[in-house]
Amino acid sequence: MAVYKRGYRRYAGPFTGRWTRFLVLPRYAWRRLYQQRLVLLLTILSFVWPVLCAGFIYLTNHAELLQGLEEEFRQFIQVNGRFFSIFMYVQAGFAVFLAALAGPGLLAPDLANNALPLYFSRPLTRWSYALARLTVLVGMLSVVTWIPGLVLFGLQVGLAGGSWLRANWSLGAGMFAGFLVWILVLSLVAMASSAYVKWRVVAGAVSLAFFFILAGVAAMIDSVFRVNWGHIIDPAWSVNQVWCALLGVEMPPGPGAGASAWALSVTVLLLVVVIERKLRPVEVVS
Partner 1 sequence: MNTIPVVELENLKVRLGRREILHGITCRLGVSGTGKVVGLLGPNGAGKSTLILTLLGFLRPSAGRARILGLDCQHSMGEARSRIGYMPENDSFIGDMTAVTFLRQMGELSGLPPEAALEQAHQVLFHVGLGEARYRELRTYSLGMKQMAKLAQAIVHGPELVVLDEPTNGLDPAARRRMLKLIADMKNEQGMNVLICSHLLRDIEQVCDEAVIMKDGAIVQHCNLEEERRSNRHFVELEVTGDDGNLRAALPEIGAEGVPEGHGRWRIVLPPGVEVEAIWGLVERQNLLVRKLTHRRDSLEEIFLKAMGHLAQTPGEGPPSPRSGFGEAG
Task: Specify the residue, 113 or 265, whose C-beta has the smaller distance to partner 1.
Answer: 113
Q: Based on the shown chain and the rule CB under 8 A, indicate whether residue 30 belongs to the binding site for partner 1.
A: no
Task: Specify the residue, 30 or 176, whose C-beta has the smaller distance to partner 1.
Answer: 30
List the one residue from 79, 95, 107, 124 that touches partner 1 (CB under 8 A): 124
Q: What is the 3-state secondary structure (H, E, C) of the chain?
A: CCHHHHCCCCCCCCCCCHHHHHCHHHHHHHHHHCCCHHHHHHHHHCCHHHHHHHHHHHHHCCHHHHCCCCHHHHHHCCCCHHHHHHHHHHHHHHHHHHHHHHCHHHHHHHHHCCCHHHHHCCCCCHHHHHHHHHHHHHHHHHHHCHHHHHHHHHHHHHHHCHHHHHHHHHHHHHHHHHHHHHHHHHHHHHHHHHHHHCCHHHHHHHHHHHHHHHHHHHHHHHHHHCCCCHHHHCHHHHHHHHHHHHHCCCCCCCCCHHHHHHHHHHHHHHHHHHHHHHCCCCCCCC
Q: Based on the shown chain and the rule CB under 8 A, indicate whether residue 163 belongs to the binding site for partner 1.
A: no
Shortest distance, position 110 Cβ to partner 1, whole Å: 7
Contact segment (CB under 8 A) with partner 1 among 7-15, 43-51, 186-194, 266-274 equals: 7-15
Task: Specify the residue, 108 or 137, whose C-beta has the smaller distance to partner 1.
Answer: 108
Contact segment (CB under 8 A) with partner 1 among 23-31, 134-142, 188-196, 221-229 equals: 23-31
Q: How far apart are CA 90 and CA 56, in angstroms?
A: 15
List the one residue from 38, 48, 77, 114 that touches partner 1 (CB under 8 A): 114
Task: Specify the residue, 4 or 73, whose C-beta has the smaller distance to partner 1.
Answer: 4
Task: Specify the residue, 6 or 226, whose C-beta has the smaller distance to partner 1.
Answer: 6
Q: Based on the shown chain and the rule CB under 8 A, indicate whether residue 106 belongs to the binding site for partner 1.
A: no
* Amino acid residing at 179: F
Contact segment (CB under 8 A) with partner 1 among 18-26, 150-158, 161-169, 218-226 equals: 18-26
Shortest distance, position 191 Cβ to partner 1, whole Å: 17
Total of residues contacting partner 1 (CB under 8 A): 38
Q: Is 248 left (phi over 0), alpha (psi -120 to 50) or beta?
A: left
List the one residue from 64, 162, 166, 282 that touches partner 1 (CB under 8 A): 282
Q: Based on the shown chain and the rule CB under 8 A, indicate whether residue 286 belongs to the binding site for partner 1.
A: yes
Q: Based on the shown chain and the rule CB under 8 A, indicate whether residue 14 belongs to the binding site for partner 1.
A: yes
Q: Based on the shown chain and the rule CB under 8 A, indicate whether residue 36 belongs to the binding site for partner 1.
A: no
Q: Based on the shown chain and the rule CB under 8 A, indicate whether residue 21 belongs to the binding site for partner 1.
A: yes
Q: How far apart are CA 161 and CA 155, in angstroms?
A: 10
Task: Specify the residue, 7 or 253, whose C-beta has the smaller distance to partner 1.
Answer: 7
Shortest distance, position 186 Cβ to partner 1, whole Å: 24
Are 33 and 105 within 8 A, CB to CB?
A: yes
Q: How far is CA 9 from CA 6, 53, 125, 257, in A?
A: 8, 57, 28, 60
Shortest distance, position 194 Cβ to partner 1, whole Å: 14
Residues that bind partner 1 (CB under 8 A): 3-4, 6-16, 21, 24-25, 28, 32, 109-110, 113-115, 117-125, 280-282, 284-286
